[in-house]
Amino acid sequence: MKLILLFVATLIRSASAAEPTSAEILAQSAASDWRAPDPQRTLYLELASGRVVIELQPEFAPKHVANIAQLVRQKYFDGLAILRAQDNYVVQWGDPNGEKPEARPLGKAKRSLSPEFFRPSFAEVPFTALIDPDSYAPHVGFSLGMPAARDEHRTWLVHCYGMVGVGRDEAADSGGGTELYVVIGHAPRHLDRNVTLVGRVISGIERLSTLPRGSGDLGFYTDKEARPPVLRVRLAADVPPNERTALELLRTDTPTFARFVDARRQRREKWFVDPVGHVDVCNVPLPVRKRSP
Amino acid sequence: MKLILLFVATLIRSASAAEPTSAEILAQSAASDWRAPDPQRTLYLELASGRVVIELQPEFAPKHVANIAQLVRQKYFDGLAILRAQDNYVVQWGDPNGEKPEARPLGKAKRSLSPEFFRPSFAEVPFTALIDPDSYAPHVGFSLGMPAARDEHRTWLVHCYGMVGVGRDEAADSGGGTELYVVIGHAPRHLDRNVTLVGRVISGIERLSTLPRGSGDLGFYTDKEARPPVLRVRLAADVPPNERTALELLRTDTPTFARFVDARRQRREKWFVDPVGHVDVCNVPLPVRKRSP
């Protein structure tokens, strides 16, 4: 039995030796396999070290994305700070004064919204499913450029590295987007369907992941002086075109993407000596490349 | 059907409300649930920012662990450098001169060894299995204090955050421990059974995970000046007792650990509004606490 299995494995390896690697698939991709992020739903988080670019995904969290855009247009985040950097978990920013009287006013934006932890049906949204098992969900895959999961009656975004979510307190409806966090460690999938995810970092995440970790519980900075400042947050649409970061994202609903995922599953690069044959939804990179402006 | 499922879910939640959280289980643990790391197989990696403590696990990679200990006793790593920091992947250190003539001599140690990617049988090694599905392996769990996986004829350590492995070139037997790496991102499980893992970081990983990322391919530092120096590496046993880092590790073969894992699976903390019910092997923290020296 073992010999037969090995023989089959050898056959599969031989057959796939001629198949391209993920790098080769990207090199051979067509212009139509890529899309430019919509400047109306792209955020520039400006830190002392430079820019972090975030793509928002309103199809999964329309109220939260609209509220965040409202906060950004009001320059709500300008001059606020990164409040928390917890190793192997998240970096989070917002108003150091929280909801105190001296907190920054919210203007037309809301402090809290009803949760958008999932979409109630998956029929309406494109979903490129993985064939691999997942520890947390019956089905995982990609939807509208984001890692996602679904069961028989819900679809939700999942907490892979780089995903951006809405901080909240104990009440499910206590978040609204005034505090946002980014995953900087192993995917905390236990947060799925417990937090509203709004998008993902598509450039500059190393400016967040290398921040000094906070010394307090949950990585909060106990010393105010230690908090890295948030210089400003802007919608790309509100930045002059020549100051925008010109990026393109590989679409997740194309045959090219399906081949790319399979190449990540099989790992045909010569370096691999034991076939992998599986891939975790959070181990599929969602490629981003520079675009001529 | 949906109503029945919801009813059952409610029953489970009510029943588990009285069950302790993972923090409560740790607070109630007995002294015998903990163990001190063996100073003969504990490494201190000393950086400008302080100490990183690594527990080696010779049961899975006896030849590599012995070779690394030999290198350390020869002070091989002292004054070498961190060569690579790749975001969401690994930090790696070794000799910047690689195998060139001016490379540091290896003394009694070996440059390369036959691979120890897995143990050929799991019958001999303790294994606390998870009940949850895994994307990569038929069974995952914990063995001798480390995250591990197995199939019908092999057991291997898995690439969770903080795991330490032996860098190698294309040939499976091209690594020996002169270059070591630590996982600082989402578990790169595709490396499982393709690299020899030798242990895990049990303290100070933030000194690695916050390092500036290298600007070259694969996160290599292209500028020599940018490479963070490795001041020295020592076995804890070779450090005076009053200079050792006194730590204790939660054993992974006890009823307390099994309850801890289940508490991480169920997430009974009030903050969670949608039951999780699953856990990924790399989302179970392996608790470490300070010990009175």
Q: What is the DSSP string of A33-91?
A: GEEPPPGGGEEEEEETTEEEEEEE-TTT-HHHHHHHHHHHHTTTTTT-EEEEE-TTSEE
Q: How confident is the model at residue B125 (pLDDT cuts 50, 70, 90)?
A: confident
- CA–CA min distance A156, chain B (Å): 13
Count of all residues that appear for chain A in the document: 293
Above 60 in pLDDT, residue A249? yes
Residues of B in contact with A117 (CB under 8 A): 273-274
Mean of the per-residue pLDDT values for chain B?
93
Contact A194/B87, CB-based, under 8 Å? no
Interface test with B, best of A82, A273, A279 (most B CBs within 10 A): A273
- State the DSSP string of A241-268: GGGS--EEEE-SSSHHHHHHHHHHHH--
Q: Residue A245: which residues within 8 A CB-CB, separation 6 or more?
A: A44, A51, A53, A203, A236
Is residue A152 pLDDT above 50, yes or no? Answer: yes
Which residues of B are less than 8 Å from A132 in CB distance?
135
Contact B88 A2 (CB under 8 A): no
CB neighbour list of residue A268: distance below 8 Å, 6 or more residues apart: A16, A17, A19, A20, A21
Share of chain A above pLDDT 70, in %: 93
Interatomic CA distance for residues B177 and B173, integer angstroms: 11
pLDDT in tens, A79-121: 999 999 999 999 999 999 998 999 999 999 999 999 999 998 7
Contact A135 B136 (CB under 8 A): no
Alpha-carbon gap, residue B86 to B90, rounded angstroms: 5
CA–CA distance, B82 with B92 (Å, rounded to integer)? 6
| Chain B CA closest to residue A270 | B170
Facing residue for B274 by CB, picked from A193, A209, A264: A193
- Residue given tokens 């790319």 in the structure block: A260
Residue A125 — pLDDT band, cuts 50, 70, 90? confident
Q: Cα–Cα distance between B55 and A8 in angstroms, integer?
A: 38
CB contact under 8 A, A273 and B172: yes
Interchain pair B186, A283: CB under 8 A: yes
Retrieve residue A3's tokens: 């010999």
CA-CA distance, B162 to A214, in Å (whole number)? Answer: 19
B107-130 average pLDDT score: 90
pTM, whole model, 2 decimals? 0.93
CB–CB of A186 and B88 under 8 A? no
**Mutate which of B130, B186, B266, B278 to test chain A, going by most A C-beta atoms within 10 A?**
B186
Classify burial at A100, counting beta carbons within 10 Å of its beta carbon; exposed 0-12, middle 13-18, buried 19 or more: exposed
Choose between B8 and A269: higher pLDDT.
Answer: A269
Cα separation, A15 vs A10, in Å, equals 9
Yes or no, beta carbons of B87 and A209 under 8 Å apart: yes
Tell me which of B270, B273, B279, B286 to substitute to probe the interface with A (most A C-beta atoms closer than 10 Å): B273
For B49-116, the DSSP string reads: TEEEEEEE-TTT-HHHHHHHHHHHHTTTTTT-EEEEE-TTSEEEEE-TTTTSTTSPP-TTS-S-----
Q: pLDDT confidence of B226, banded at 50, 70, 90?
A: very high
Contact B190 A87 (CB under 8 A): no
Report helix, strand or coil for A184: coil
How far is residue B218's CA from residue A42's CA, in Å, rounded to a whole number? 27
Helix, strand or coil for residue A189? Answer: helix
Residue to test with chain B: of A86, A153, A197, A271, most B Cβ within 10 A? A271
Please, what is the Cα angle at A135 between B289 and B55, to 5 degrees? 30
Is residue A147 within a helix (H) or strand (E), and if so which, with residue range? strand A146-150
- Taking the C-alpha atoms of residue B12 and residue B155, their distance in angstroms, rounded to an integer, is 34
pLDDT digits (tens, 9 = 90+) for B34-53: 999 999 999 999 999 999 99
**CA B85/CA B189 separation, integer angstroms:** 18
Q: Quick one: pLDDT at residue B271?
A: 95
B129 - beta bridge partners?
B141
Q: How confident is the model at residue A243 (pLDDT cuts 50, 70, 90)?
A: very high
Q: How close, in Å, is residue B71 to chain A by CA atoms?
A: 26
**Interface contact flag, A209 B205, Cβ < 8 Å:** no
**C-alpha distance from residue A293 to each of A240, A243, A244, A245, B172 (Å):** 12, 10, 8, 8, 44
What's at A190, amino acid-wise?
H
Query: Which residue in the set A187, A192, A213 is minimally distant from B186, CB to CB?
Result: A187
The span from the CA of A230 to the CA of B195, in Å, is 40
Tens-digit pLDDT profile for residues B145-160: 999 999 999 999 999 9
- Looking at the complex, report in whole angstroms how far the Cα of residue B201 sits from the nearest Cα belonging to chain A: 13
Mean pLDDT over A60-71 rounds to: 98
What are the φ and ψ backbone dihedral angles of A151, each rounded to 5 degrees?
Answer: -125, -160
End-to-end CA distance of chain B: 57
Contact A190 B282 (CB under 8 A): no
Q: Tokens at residue B114, please?
A: 């036959």
**Given an 8 Å threshold on Cβ–Cβ distance, is B135 in contact with A211?**
no
Q: Calculate the CA dihedral of residues B107, B108, B113, B117 and round it to 10 degrees.
A: -110
- Chain A neighbors of B192, CB-CB under 8 A: 276
The edge-to-edge listing of strands for the beta sheet with A163-166 is A81-85, A90-94, A180-183, A163-166, A197-203, A50-56, A42-47, A230-235
Q: How far is A73 from chain B (nearest CA, A)?
A: 31
Helix H or strand E segment including B70: helix B62-73
The single-letter code of the amino acid at A288 is V
Considering only the beta carbons, identify the residue of B135, B273, B283 that sits closest to A188.
B283
- Contact at CB, A185 and B185, closer than 8 angstroms: yes
Structure tokens at A42: 């792209």
Q: Which of A17-31, A148-162, A253-267, B250-264 has the lowest mean pLDDT?
A: A17-31
Using the predicted structure, report yes or no on whether residue B10 has a pLDDT greater than 90. Answer: no
The answer for residues whose C-beta is within 8 angstroms of residue A27's C-beta and 6 or more apart is none
